[in-house]
Amino acid sequence: MITTSKIKDAEELMTDLTYSDEFKYTSTNPYHDKLEEFKDFVFRDHEAEQLKGKWNQEVFKREAPLCLEIGSGYGHFMMDYCEKNPEVNFIGLDYRFKRSFSLARKLADHPTKTFKYLRAKGERIHFLFGENELDRIFYFFPDPWPKTRHMKKRLFQAPFLDQAYKVLRPGGRIFIKTDHDGYAQWMEEVMEGDDQFELVMSTKNLREEYPEHFLCDFKTKFEKIFLDKGIKIKAFELVSKKKD
């Protein structure tokens, strides 16, 4: 069930500047400037927010399903998915500087060029994308923030679902995978309090219960580690109830 503390955390998030117009990216990290080397496909901080509602028309210059991965990490899913699905326009997103630079170097040599990469925050997807602009959101193996005092840092909360609902088209989908039992339970409780999405798939053991699901077609770097340790993969698929 959604506890009083979680409701309070959600209320605090809504007053967090990260979710507001007043938020400003600031950084002295040297990798911020280094990312400019890849400016043909990398957008840093507020650069991406200037393209809200224009991704297909002005950035990709073609009409295609627009997919977003929040927390692209080392890029294994992003590169694999783009190679296998050249018909989609794919946007990867992560907030860490050095890891973003490392991934950008790999993407520069990737044969499929149907992607863009954002160094940005997942909490700001409603500033990055217009209403009904996205077709899919992927959210795989996020930091679970397991300590109680840090749980409010978890991205998957009611305010995030509100923003996802806005930017996803009618029937748009969110796909989630996690190794962490506690975060999976947290997500279930958040979804129970939401009436904007239909939960069409929920499992505590993805590869045994849904071996034919496309989420089993690939393994991220972290997923391979978890599976080798015998950790079961928890997964969810949500569909927007928004009407045309």
For the annotated catalytic residues, the residue numbers are: 143
The count of C-alpha atoms lying within 13 angstroms of the C-alpha of 148, restricted to the half-sphere facing its C-beta, is 1
Helix (H) / strand (E) containing 161: helix 158-167
Strand partners of residue 234: 178
Taken in order 154, 159, 161, 163, the sign of the CA dihedral is negative
CA end-to-end distance (rounded Å), the chain: 31
Provide CB contacts within 8 A for 76, sequence distance 6+.
218, 219, 220, 221
Provide CB contacts within 8 A for 224, sequence distance 6+.
none
CA distances from 28 to 34, 46, 121 (A): 12, 15, 17
One-letter amino acid at 84 equals: K
Helix pair 76-84, 97-108: axis angle to 10 deg: 30
One-letter amino acid at 191 equals: M
Strand partners of residue 199: 238
Token pair in block for residue 148: 């109680």
